[in-house]
Structure 1
Amino acid sequence: MELDTNKKSTRGRPVCELKQAEQKAKLILAAKLLLNDKSYSQITIRDIASEANINSAMIKYYFGGKENLFVALIQSIADEQFSQFEDLPAQSKPVYQFILRFGEVLQTHPGFVHLLSEEVLNKTTPLTEAFMASFPARVSKFLPPLIQQEAGIADGVKAKLAAFQLITLIVSPYILKTLRQQAWQIDDTEIQGERWAKDLYQHFIYGLKESDINEVEF
């Protein structure tokens, strides 16, 4: 009886590429779900494996360790969300749509916000590098042209600075959640949805256009 060499296994590891892709996706999803309830430092490899119902050895096999698994999580969230921004240049109010959609990213991925505030800001790690490449670096190329398109700004530097101001306005209420809730008594529902997006959009666009019309002298 001849052996089928194409069906060889390696120490119990799945050979099928589809099976491997499914297991990697399950581990990434498990890390994402756990991050909604725990900080990155509190989550263990055993926690992730248990949540995914997969042998913990597979985390090292697929990703090399916990940190690289979370790098993959950041990249997957970024790829998923930026695919939803591709049609923005064709929208009548692309900046408004960006504010609305990016706000939805922050609302629907609380664990991502936790990771950003606890592990990315003011640190230099592979997680920091992955985040910078996946989100800020991409936004810095994507958002200024939208602002130029809608506000009619020819100055690329001014558009870049305006884009940085806008993304700061969008993200800050989530990063400063404790301050927002305890000092200002502003709950999550007040910084979500179309009303918040419209208010932010109007203040931003109006202020941007006014700065073109009337330069304030000091």
Structure 2
Amino acid sequence: MTTKVTRGRPVCEVKQAEQRAKLILAAKELLNLKSYSQITIRDIAAQASINSAMIKYYFGGKENLFVHLIQAIADEHFSQFEELHEHNKPLYLFIRRFDEILQTHPGFVHLLNEEVLDKTTPLAKAFMGAFPARVSKFLPQLIQQEAGVEDLRKAKLAAFQLITLLVSPYILKTLRQQAWGIDDSEIQGEQWAKDIYQRFVHGLKESDIDEVEF
């Protein structure tokens, strides 16, 4: 049985939207399996069962398709962060939800590690704008709200520390598994989130970096 491949430029706007969504989904699925550099336009087209010419027609090329993918993932998940300030433990909920993003989107980590860090490409800039830049706007405020940190600069530094705690176990996966013998199940789930939350918030409330004597 052969898969029917759509050819030509679709006229219907609904059809166009469907094909764009299919291509974005295909890119997401492939990114969960292999690196960005290994994924070809033909791979994406085959995964979506759509003619490869449609990628250039809709997105202008592979890189811009992944830019749209990044924005789609960000829009999907960041909407759930908007109401966190209404809860009495917003940082715990943020940790749980952010960790779920890392778990369910391994391609997110692949892209960050291989195509974003120390790079200035349009793809890297899109990633920075869609994720880190957005987190940097609301996470310091959550820290101020829950931990009582009045100094905004300290809250920003604390927010960066928290993101580092959450992301580094995924970026350093090989080191974590081979040197420390820590598998994925040990850095995921409710208990992991509680451990990070308790240590992080307790440290913020009980110490002031400027006043600690060494």
Deviations 1:107-165 (A, max 9, x none): 00001111111111111111110011000100000100000000111111111110010
Matches within 5 A, 1:156-195: 156-195=152-191
> What's the secondary structure of 1:143's corresponding residue?
helix
Counterpart in 1 of 2:149? 153
Task: Look up the match of 1:7.
Answer: none
Task: Give the match for residue 48 of structure 1.
Answer: 44
Q: Structure 1, unaligned stretches of length 5 or more?
A: 1-10
The alpha carbon displacement at 1:215 in A equals 2.6
The answer on 1:124 being equivalent to 2:111 is: no
Q: TM-score, normalised by structure 2?
A: 0.94
Look up the equivalent residue of 1:96 and give its one-letter code: Y
Q: CA deviation at 1:12?
A: 3.0
Change (3 A) 1:213 1:50: closer
Shift of 1:48: 0.2
Inter-partner Cα distance in structure 2 for 1:213 and 1:34: 44
Q: Which residue of 2 aligns with 1:110?
A: 106
Counterpart CA distance in 2 for 1:92 and 1:154 is 17
Letter of the structure 1 residue corresponding to residue 45 of structure 2: A
**Alignment of 1:91 onto 2:87:** yes
Paired residues in the alignment total 208
State how far apart, in whole Å, the 1-side matches of 2:12 and 2:206 are. Answer: 60
**Whole-Å separation in 2 of the counterparts to 1:12 and 1:36:** 29
- Counterpart residue number, 1:5: none
Which is greater in Rg? 1
| CA distance, structure 1, for counterparts of residue 116 and residue 180 of structure 2 | 25
Q: For 1:71, give the aligned amino acid.
A: V
Moved over 4 A (4+): none
Secondary structure of residue in 1 paired with 2:102: helix
* 2:70 matches 1:74: yes
Task: Give the 3 Å change call, closer, same or farther, for CA 44–213 of structure 1 in structure 2.
Answer: closer
Change (3 A) 1:126 1:213: closer
| Amino acid aligned to 1:85 | F
Structure 2 residue identity aligned to 1:117: N
Question: CA offset at residue 213 of structure 1?
Answer: 9.3
With normalisation by structure 1, the TM-score equals: 0.93
Q: Deviations over 1:74-99 (max 9, x none)?
A: 11001101011112111110000000
2:173 counterpart letter in structure 1:
K
* Other-structure match for 2:26: 30
Separation in 2 of the partners of 1:35 and 1:107?
14
Change in CA separation of 1:213 and 1:165 when aligned onto 2, cut-off 3 Å: closer
SS in 2 for 1:38: coil
Question: Equivalent residue for 1:205?
Answer: 201
Find the residue that maps to 2:208 and give its secondary structure: helix
